[in-house]
Chains A and B, each alone.
Chain A
Amino acid sequence: AQSVTQLGSHVSVSEGALVLLRCNYSSSVPPYLFWYVQYPNQGLQLLLKYTSAATLVKGINGFEAEFKKSETSFHLTKPSAHMSDAAEYFCAVIPTNAGKSTFGDGTTLTVKP
């Protein structure tokens, strides 16, 4: 069994500021971890994924996330927010035994000019 907690359902930053979206997980087996982004009226798109290689994972659009096993976290960051980053972001965990996935409840990112 596994679970995902995204801390903060809404995050607001100014354009150019650091983006930090938090994700904590629990899993009874080693997990694969993912971040997906959903723009308005669209489906989810993969941002980045951790599959037990490097713990610092770089994704599209300048985003990156670090897998920290000791903290059971997989926080998403971007050094400088852009207006086009405004979207909803989902963290997901899939156990490495190919079981069912679990998605977090999502964090809506607002970028202020």
Chain B
Amino acid sequence: NAGVTQTPKFQVLKTGQSMTLQCAQDMNHEYMSWYRQDPGMGLRLIHYSVGAGITDQGEVPNGYNVSRSTTEDFPLRLLSAAPSQTSVYFCASRGDRDTYTFGSGTRLTVV
């Protein structure tokens, strides 16, 4: 099925560890983005990309890196995990008509 695939679904990290959240889409969408969702704060944009080789910062980029080497993949890297990064992370791609397709999310806990 066409869509956005995120892995892993759950992850527990220790403070200071690094990891990469994977995101892949098979709809040939140019625009991809990462959000974090925290209770009472809605969705906050971390980073986004308008095409391969192009990335830009969103509202809350500190502590996260992204790259976009292909149209399909948009990984999010946590450089040195902190408890404040405990959250649910969503990857989304945006196609024609500006409609988003969201992944099912990654629940990250940093202890």
Q: Which of B35, B97, B100, B105 has the most CB of A within 10 A?
A: B100
Which residues of the other chain, B, contact A9 by a CB distance below 8 angstroms?
Answer: 40
Q: Mark A14-46, 1 if CB is under 8 A from B, else 0.
A: 000000000000000000101010000111111
Partner of B98, one of A41, A94, A103, A106: A94
Instruction: Give the complex CA separation of A9 and B39 in angstroms.
Output: 11
Partner of A49, one of B41, B58, B97: B97
- Name the interface size band of chain A: 20 to 34
Are A49 and B99 closer than 8 Å at their CB atoms?
yes
Report which A residues bind B (CB closer than 8 A). Answer: 9, 32, 34, 36, 41-46, 49, 51, 90, 92, 94, 98, 100-101, 103-106
Beyond A49-B98, A101-B45, A106-B42, 20 additional contacts (C-beta under 8 Å) are A9-B40, A34-B98, A34-B99, A41-B105, A42-B105, A43-B4, A44-B90, A44-B92, A46-B100, A49-B97, A51-B97, A51-B98, A94-B98, A98-B98, A100-B45, A101-B94, A101-B98, A101-B100, A103-B42, A104-B42
